[in-house]
Each structure stands twice: as C-alpha cells, then as structure tokens.
Structure 1
C-alpha cells in the first residue's frame, strides 16, 4: 500500500507541474505576477544561504546522495521492498521538480529580455555580422592592455572581491532599465567541486532551491567576471541561456571595474566571432589576424586552459544540459548559449544606427 500511495502522490505532483508549465506557456498574463514572485522567492532563499561562504546546495546535494544510499542499503539489509524505495525516490524527484518549476523554472516561458530592454531582434546580413564582430574586437582590444594582468599575461582576478562586486553592473543597468532595478544582489558563491565542474564543462550554475549563483573558480580569468554576471542574470529570473549571456554583457560593460568591462567585451567578441566563423571563415580569419596581440593571446590561453578537461564526461554532461534546456522549450539546447550573438548583433545595430 505504501508503494501505491507514493506512486499516486508522484502522479499528483507530475500533473501539477505540467499544469504550471501549461499555464506559463499559454497565458502570457501569468508573468505579470510570476516574475515578482520568483524574484522574491529567490531573495528569501538566497538570504538564508548568503551567510555561508560556500554554496549551500553543494552540501545539501551530497547529503541527499548519502541519504539515498543509506536508505537503499537499509532496504536490502532489512529486506524491505525495493519497489517501495523506488517509489519513494520517484516521489522525491517529483516534489523537487514541482518546487523547481514553481519557484523559478517557469521563467523559461517569460517575456524575452529583448522586450524588457526595448531591443528589436531581426535578421542580419553577413556584412553586419562582420561589422559587429570587428566592433566587439575593437572594444575588447581597447581595454585588453589597460586591465591589470599576472606575470603569465592572464587577467588578474580576485574571486572573493569580484564575487561581492559583480552586482554593481546590474545596479548601473537598473538606472536605465526597470527590469534590472533591484535593491541588492547576493554575493556569487565559489563552487567547491571545481575539478568535477571543470570536467563537466561547467563554469557556473544557478540553483533555485537555495537561490545561489555559483561560479567555478577554475573558469578562465578573462571570462570569470562575465560568468559571475551570467549567473546573477539567472537569479534575476532571466532563464534562457542566450538571454543570460546578453544580460551579462550589458552588466559587465556597465560595471565600474575595468576587469568586468573587458570580460564583457571579450565574451561578446567570442560569441560574435564564432558566429562569423561559421558563416564566413575568410572574414573571421581577417579579423583574427588584424586584432590586438593581447586579445588574441587571451583567446588562445582560454582554449589551452579548457582543453585538458575535454572528453567523455564533458560530452555526457552536455547531453544532460541539452535535454534540460529542450525540456523547457529552448529548441537549440546547449547551442542556445551561442545564440547570444543574435542579441549582441541586434544591440550593435541599434547602438550604431
């Protein structure tokens, strides 16, 4: 009977979750209330987790795995029903899915960030893509030699200091766009399992259950400030990955710290360059050959930095992330990260019109 009861409750939570998704997908007015609710929920949960210098969710995840293993062992040692245990796991997962979707996940169906900032996104020509890429390269190059660097030539970073100040870019944006006008943003958390996340290709992650934006400290230096702003964009209910990248660009380049500004322009160049490389390798090569040595060196060091972590583990993790994104109507899956180029080019065309 316990097994049946758990399965019934699992079905109830699954149906409730699907109902929430249906409402979000087909009732646009739903977001008149949901966005504020989600932000308040993240502020409350993040406020509980903020006193801890580590990502609380990482500890909770380990404890949950240990609990599941403990109950599984007890199931066999005390000869309890394995199906009942499986039903319990299914119930737990259905509850977590319901909470995730209800608290934050529905932001995937919210009005786009382009609407929030008054940006018109249309198609673009190859020439416009080339011009935008050259512009991003020039902006990044202008800052590349101004920022403080290590003896090895990398951008000099202080994770703790940057984690505390990352929200300053959004504070500046809040004076221009109401969507970003929030009282205070939390400190970005340093992820404890850096090696694990590096092998899965994860530079940052936002966990709605604790309202924490976490970043892998092993992220390449030139991308670190931008990545912090990306994860804070998720905290601000920007769920789509391309939109979080665009929000991070706006926040980074509006930040008073030159390191954040450089990181923003550097990242924007990377996204636009990759799009141009796919469209016209000859033009991409011309921009690459003509840009600053310092910017080019950062790009090369970034590739060398991440290369040792590439492999089967990263491929598997990417497939999981791809499935998650597609489940929330992001048709391009992990390719959506690169779709930030569409928003960046639209922004460039609007700014230079």
Structure 2
C-alpha cells in the first residue's frame, strides 16, 4: 500500500469515527440532571467564558467567517470533483463527515444545553397560577408600568450598547443565578452580521452563534428594543438554549434593572407577548408608548417577507425538535407561562 493510499484509508477511518460519534451523541439518552450538573454548570461555563471573551475582542462576527469558510470549502470540493462519478461519492462521504463534525462541535460547545433541566423544575413554578385571569392582571400591570416608565425612559437620550451592558449586568447575574446557574456568564458584545438583511426579512431580532458564543443583533432594532434583545441573547450565552427560557431571563433582567430605559424595554417586550383578547376593557396606553409600539410595527414591516419568515420558522421548528425541544417553535409562548407561573416578575 502506498503512502497516499494509507493516508486515504486513515482519513476514511476518521470520517467514519466522526459520523459514529455524531450518531451516538444525537441518539444516546442524556439525563437532564446529568446535563445540568456536569455540562451546563461545569464544562459549559469554562467554554463560554473562554469563547465569548475572545469573540468580544474581535470586531466582526466570527459566524460570518465560519460560514464563508464552509462555502469556500464546499465550492472548492465541488470544483475538484466535477465530472468524476467516483469523486462525487467521496465528496458525499466527506460532506457527511463534515456535517457530523459540525454537529458534534455544536453539541459540545453549546447545544447540549437543550437537554438540561427545564426552568419549570428549577424555579418555584406553579402551573395553577397560569390562568386567563392572571394573564389579564399581568397585562394591566404591564400597561401601568409602561405608562410610568416611558416618562423616565424618554426624558433623556436612550442608552447605547455600552451603557446597556453595564445597566443589565447586575440584574442578569441575579436572574441567571436564580435560574440555577452556578457560574457567572461573560456577557456578549452585540455585533452586526453580513446576513443582516436576512434577519429583517425573516422577522428575526437577533441570534446567538453557537460556535463562537457571540451575539448578533438586527441593526434596525430601535433603541428601546435593543436592551431586551441583548438580554435575551445573553440568556442563550448563559446556557438557556430554549427560546422561552432565554426570553424569560431577558424579561427578568430588564424589568429588574435599576435603569428605567432598560425596564421600559422589558415591559415593551412583555406587552408584545401577553394575549390581548379584551382590549376595550384595558387601560389606555400613554401616547408615547403607543407611538413606540407603532414604530416597532413599522420597523418590522419595512423589510419583512412573510414567505421567507414562514420558511425560516419551519426550518427552525425542525431544528428545535431535532434537539429534543418537543414544542418546537411553540416553545416561544412558554415564556408567558414562566412569567405567570413564577414570582420572578410580580
């Protein structure tokens, strides 16, 4: 056997091993208590602290660099195998191995957090509190808070990202600790991505890069939207992979902040989440609050493409279910249950 043949056999063994590891991690039972104790509260905080500390010092989105590198590699491999049937089979096998490597890295760096203990088990959550009456009472309280906080929030220029990070830090640390995190999270610096146009078209406010552990925000977010979205993404960095849980952490973080502008951002986000079936019986929103809600709606409509957003939701729903989030995209609505079923807000 020649040296090149030996090298080829060796690479095939590595590829088979990668695929086997990915299949094992994807299918093997992982007790939530084990994940919570050994991964989410021991291994992951070390990874998060290192990765986010590094990514915070890089002025561009690492996710963009990773995505462009994958596209370039795929294009080069496709060019090399053009018109060669045997090479196409090798390309397919190599693609499967690459996919397995990416999936394994995803789980190891961040994705296993999907399998940790849910907040409903770790907090003093009472399902009997989740009622239509409780939702209406919370909505009334939210409207009252918005009307009060809007005055202070708009009495001075709304804070920029640096001030927002400083203002959120204390309440974020407290919320994450109450939710079961033993270690502090390194907050992420908000970045802009080359797919910023896609975020607007798909109706997305931001996302967390699970490989670089950095946060990306839609550049068109209004100043009073950014604090909540930033806190939400910090929730993901803290290991709360589930959307409802990250959103809940974001709400608690903002609403408990000492800064009225940050509290206002949290109450606005909660207002948008709560059901409003009997609007005629509700207190009136202050003119400034109503104007801000109209501005958010106009911002969303400016680039929103319904067909793209629906396709993105279907893909994300499958992704969530593949990562053992049985509710799929419906898990977003669970944030309201957490608000009503615990006493962390109220």
| TM-score bin, normalised by smaller chain | 0.7 to 0.9
Aligned match of 1:13 in 13, 18, 26? 18
Quote how far apart the aligned CAs of 1:176 are. 6.1
The answer to whether the 8 Å contact 2:196/2:218 transfers is: yes
Q: 1:245 to 1:351 in 2, by over 3 A?
A: closer
Where 1:185 maps in the other structure, the secondary structure is coil
Q: Cα deviations across residues 38-68 of structure 1 (Å, max 9, x unaligned)? A: 1211221222222112211212211221221
The answer to whether the 8 Å contact 1:191/1:214 transfers is: yes
Question: Could you tell which deviates more after superposition, 157-166 or 329-338?
Answer: 157-166
Quote how far apart the aligned CAs of 1:248 are. 0.3
The answer to whether the 8 Å contact 2:18/2:101 transfers is: yes
Quote how far apart the aligned CAs of 1:79 are. 8.0
Q: Cα deviations across residues 221-254 of structure 1 (Å, max 9, x unaligned)? A: 3321100001111110001100100000111122
Quote how far apart the aligned CAs of 1:11 are. 5.4
Q: Tell me how far apart the structure 2 counterparts of residues 306 and 205 of structure 1 sit (CA, whole Å).
A: 16
Equivalent positions of 1:156-305 (< 5 A) are 156=158, 158-159=160-161, 161-162=163-164, 166-173=168-175, 179=181, 182=184, 184-272=186-274, 276-277=275-276, 281=277, 283-287=278-282, 290-305=284-299
Root-mean-square deviation (CA, aligned residues, Å) is 3.0
The answer to whether the 8 Å contact 1:202/1:216 transfers is: yes
Where 1:329 maps in the other structure, the secondary structure is coil
The answer to whether the 8 Å contact 2:202/2:309 transfers is: yes
Aligned match of 2:338 in 322, 335, 343? 343
The answer to whether the 8 Å contact 1:166/1:187 transfers is: no
- 1:313 matched to 2:308? The reply is yes
Equivalent positions of 1:42-191 (< 5 A) are 42-76=48-82, 81-122=87-128, 124-148=130-154, 156=158, 158-159=160-161, 161-162=163-164, 166-173=168-175, 179=181, 182=184, 184-191=186-193
The answer to whether the 8 Å contact 1:167/1:229 transfers is: no
Question: Could you tell which deviates more after superposition, 291-300 or 210-219?
Answer: 291-300
Quote how far apart the aligned CAs of 1:220 are. 3.7
Quote how far apart the aligned CAs of 1:22 are. 5.2
Q: Tell me how far apart the structure 1 counterparts of residues 325 and 111 of structure 2 sit (CA, whole Å).
A: 12
Q: Tell me how far apart the structure 2 counterparts of residues 76 and 261 of structure 1 sit (CA, whole Å).
A: 57
> What stretches of structure 2 of length at least 5 have no aligned partner?
none
The answer to whether the 8 Å contact 2:60/2:192 transfers is: yes
Question: Could you tell which deviates more after superposition, 205-214 or 70-79?
Answer: 70-79
Quote how far apart the aligned CAs of 1:314 are. 1.8
Aligned match of 1:39 in 39, 45, 55? 45
| TM-score normalised by the chain length of structure 2 | 0.86
The answer to whether the 8 Å contact 1:143/1:262 transfers is: yes
The answer to whether the 8 Å contact 2:147/2:286 transfers is: yes
Where 2:181 maps in the other structure, the secondary structure is helix
Q: Tell me how far apart the structure 1 counterparts of residues 128 and 20 of structure 2 sit (CA, whole Å).
A: 37
Where 1:167 maps in the other structure, the secondary structure is helix
Q: Cα deviations across residues 157-196 of structure 1 (Å, max 9, x unaligned)? A: 5245435654343135467666275164232333343212
Where 1:214 maps in the other structure, the secondary structure is strand
| TM-score normalised by the chain length of structure 1 | 0.84
Q: 1:194 to 1:79 in 2, by over 3 A?
A: same
Aligned match of 1:26 in 31, 45, 55? 31
Q: 1:27 to 1:212 in 2, by over 3 A?
A: closer
Q: Tell me how far apart the structure 1 counterparts of residues 148 and 28 of structure 2 sit (CA, whole Å).
A: 47
Where 1:238 maps in the other structure, the secondary structure is coil
